[in-house]
Amino acid sequence: MRNPHKCIVHTFKNYTKLEDVGPEDYFCRFEYKAATGAFTPDRVAVYCKCEMPYNPDDLMVQCEACKDWYHPACLNMTIEQTKQLDSFTCHECSPLDGKRPPSRTSTSGVPNGKVNLKQAQHKRQKK
């Protein structure tokens, strides 16, 4: 049995491989090298118009045109709305210069006829 007052800090890579993530599970993207005072890696990729690093606990949707990833909330959409999309084109790539909502009908280039979503397979379990 785990101590309810302790947390477990995983490497980012190992965290994304966990089957069940509990409330005590956390991840760290960086490793600190005390001898050199450096962090590894020294930078991480950012996504979405909010320019945040990928968080495996948050759902993201991929634009079919530019292949960039976006959070549903940053697109003024709910997670459920995002999961119902057949395809998604961001405002930057959308015809009419972003003046129409994301496409919900086209399935060209989309595996299994659904939009490409990115989220770790595990879910936080509430205790």
Percentage of residues of the chain with pLDDT beyond 70: 73
> In this predicted model, which residue has the larger pLDDT, 117 or 109?
117
What residue spans in the chain does CATH classification 3.30.40.10 cover? 45-120
Q: Is the pLDDT of residue 16 over 60?
A: yes
Q: Is the pLDDT of residue 99 over 80?
A: no
CB contact burial 52-78 (16+ within 10 A = b; e otherwise): eebebeebbbbbbeeeebbbbeebebe
**Residue whose pair of structure tokens reads 């509430």 in the numeric block:** 126
Q: Is the pLDDT of residue 54 over 80?
A: yes
**What per-residue confidence (pLDDT) applies to 96?**
64
Tell me the H-state helices in 24-97: 79-84
Q: Show Cβ contacts of residue 22 under 8 Å, excluding neighbours closer than 6 positions.
A: 2, 124, 125, 127
**What per-residue confidence (pLDDT) applies to 46?**
93
Q: What is the mean pLDDT of residues 111-117?
A: 56
**What per-residue confidence (pLDDT) applies to 117?**
73
Domain topology for 45-120:
Herpes Virus-1 (3.30.40)
Element (H, E) at 31: strand 31-33
